[in-house]
Structure 1
Amino acid sequence: MKHETFFRKHPVFTGEEFNDHLASLGKTGPRTRESLLNYHRNTGHVILIRRGLYAVIPIGADTDSYPVDPFLVAAKLTADAVLSYHTALEVHGYAYSIREHLTYSASRPVSPVTFRSHVFRGVRYPQSLCRAEKVDFGVTTVDRAGLEVRVTSLERTLVDVLDRPALSGSWEEIWRSLEAIEFFDLEKVVEYALLLGNATTIAKVGFYLEQHRESLMVEESHLKPLRDHRPRQPHYLDSSNRKSGKVVGDWNLVVPVGLLKRTWGEVL
């Protein structure tokens, strides 16, 4: 019963967390942990996700089909994992579509993990944040099954998905997801964009805000610091997918015509 309380409160848990639980009961040592975990795995009460990471299955439930929250899995793949990019949009409830690829940020991500139908991919924190010692800028927590999960805020997520669009899908997916969000703290958006220090990303953020000036109540005071740091020469909106487009002079961005006109078929 002592272990049942732990399992109930930790539907997904790490070996270190189980160690701490055993230590609180006065039980220590790797053999104790391994024998207990092996017992619960043999009974189907605990399943292995990857080395050092486990999920709890209610007694009597099917170990192959009982749902395991993939966001909890992603959040526990490293000690400092932060759900980010499109996955953050999903957690916040604003993703236009649901993906089976989940993304988290960490200082040292583990190799990609496949569990059931999901693939978990970690990316390193941006170097600019590491240099400034601000990797936690715009990181918040949400409750998932009684556990606190770290996730990027809406403001950081807006900038991140524009910074690395390949991690969030097509431009239609990105635009439709972001447009579902009715409010941003624009001061935080600008601060984070400037903190990343990438001129192209800064221009993309400025372009997005200007495109939604009325709905997001964007003021010139938000756009000017971004405009001051735009690229000196035109840059593609997506450097990895250099399709022809129209130069938006205010931001020195080459933007696909399909995105400007919202004819999504031309963007995909």
Structure 2
Amino acid sequence: MLEYYEKLLQIKCFSFYDAVKILGDKQKTRNILYMLKKKGLLQSIRRNYYVVISLETKEPVASPFEIASAITADSYISHHSALEFYGLTNQVFSDVFVSTERVFREFDFDGRWYRCIENTRKFGIVQQKRIKVTDLERTILDSIKDFDKIGGLEELLRCLEMITVINEDILIAYLGKYHNQFLSQKAGYLLSFFPRIKLSSSFFSFCKANMGNSSRYLYHDLKDEKNMFVKEWNLCVPENILQLINEGGEAFV
């Protein structure tokens, strides 16, 4: 049995069908997985998805990011979870944001909730060992695009404040791939507050050229809050946004 354990330990977390490829036919695999679970060497993450348990620590050997990267064939971590992976967050969320073309039922495991984000974009995904994650440029744009659903404006501003180096050419190329006027509008406005990122005037000119002529709220619920209009970007923004930025995300009182 230890021989099978060591084979599965190499891949850390896997589907039933991944195990079949390693262990043999389906019935043999079912028997082996059953015995490993009984001995406490394997744990079910969800139906037909497993993680190996360490002999030393009795904990899962796979990190939440490794688990997320193997949920589906094309899954990868994104948004706030990608910022967390890069060490650019002030807090660790219990949610793990997982982008994939193949929608899965969300689930919790070992104190983390794995949230599915249906996404068909295939660019800006990198692999580091067993972890698939959006690169920093795409992570920034995804986080700006969806901040009202994932993390909120204050957390986004705190994360952006920690970024110092990005590739402007890649950021512009990705922004063009979204074909999203509102994203260009939000990205140009919000990134203008962070000179440490060292974006040139070319980036902001690109955003303005691609944001269209519509006036929009920075996020949907803002229409019910105190707001002000920024003519340069045709955006209604929170009245206290400068306070949020200048005080590192501390709420305005």
TM-score, normalised with respect to structure 1: 0.85
* Identical residues among aligned pairs (%): 23
* CA–CA distance in structure 1, aligned partners of residues 221 and 116 of structure 2: 20
How far is the alpha carbon of 1:116 from its aligned partner? Answer: 2.8
- The residue aligned with 1:234 is 215
How far is the alpha carbon of 1:66 from its aligned partner? Answer: 5.6
Matched, 1:56 2:52: yes
Q: Deviations over 1:75-99 (max 9, x none)?
A: 1111100100101111111112100
* CA–CA distance in structure 1, aligned partners of residues 154 and 48 of structure 2: 38
Q: Among 118, 141, 160, which residue is 1:159 paired with?
A: 141
Q: Deviations over 1:19-66 (max 9, x none)?
A: 2212xxxx3x2101100100101111001011121111123754xx66
Q: Quickly say closer, same or farther: Cα 1:7–1:139, change in 2 above 3 A.
A: same
Matched, 1:136 2:130: no
**AA partner of residue 208 (structure 2):** R
Matched, 1:176 2:158: yes
CA contact (8 A) 2:164 2:198 kept: no
CA contact (8 A) 1:140 1:152 kept: yes
Q: Among 234, 240, 249, which residue is 1:252 paired with?
A: 234
Matched, 1:76 2:77: no
* Secondary structure class of the residue paired with 2:83: helix
Q: Deviations over 1:230-265 (max 9, x none)?
A: 241321111244333222212111111222232631
- The residue aligned with 1:100 is 94
**AA partner of residue 21 (structure 1):** I
Q: Quickly say closer, same or farther: Cα 1:186–1:137, change in 2 above 3 A.
A: same
Q: Deviations over 1:212-245 (max 9, x none)?
A: 2x32222121111210122413211112443332
How far is the alpha carbon of 1:68 from its aligned partner? Answer: 5.0
**AA partner of residue 41 (structure 1):** K
TM-score, normalised with respect to structure 2: 0.90
* CA–CA distance in structure 2, aligned partners of residues 8 and 253 of structure 1: 52
Q: How many residues align?
A: 247
* CA–CA distance in structure 2, aligned partners of residues 152 and 180 of structure 1: 17
Unaligned runs of 5+ residues in structure 1 are none
Matched, 1:265 2:247: no
- The residue aligned with 1:13 is 14
How far is the alpha carbon of 1:180 from its aligned partner? Answer: 0.9
CA contact (8 A) 2:52 2:60 kept: no
* Secondary structure class of the residue paired with 1:215: helix
* Secondary structure class of the residue paired with 1:261: helix
Superposition CA RMSD, Å: 2.0
* CA–CA distance in structure 1, aligned partners of residues 72 and 46 of structure 2: 12
* Secondary structure class of the residue paired with 2:236: strand
CA contact (8 A) 1:7 1:56 kept: yes
* CA–CA distance in structure 1, aligned partners of residues 126 and 62 of structure 2: 22
CA contact (8 A) 2:243 2:251 kept: no
* CA–CA distance in structure 1, aligned partners of residues 4 and 133 of structure 2: 29
* CA–CA distance in structure 2, aligned partners of residues 124 and 255 of structure 1: 28
How far is the alpha carbon of 1:11 from its aligned partner? Answer: 2.1
**AA partner of residue 113 (structure 1):** F
* CA–CA distance in structure 2, aligned partners of residues 108 and 241 of structure 1: 32
Matched, 1:33 2:34: no
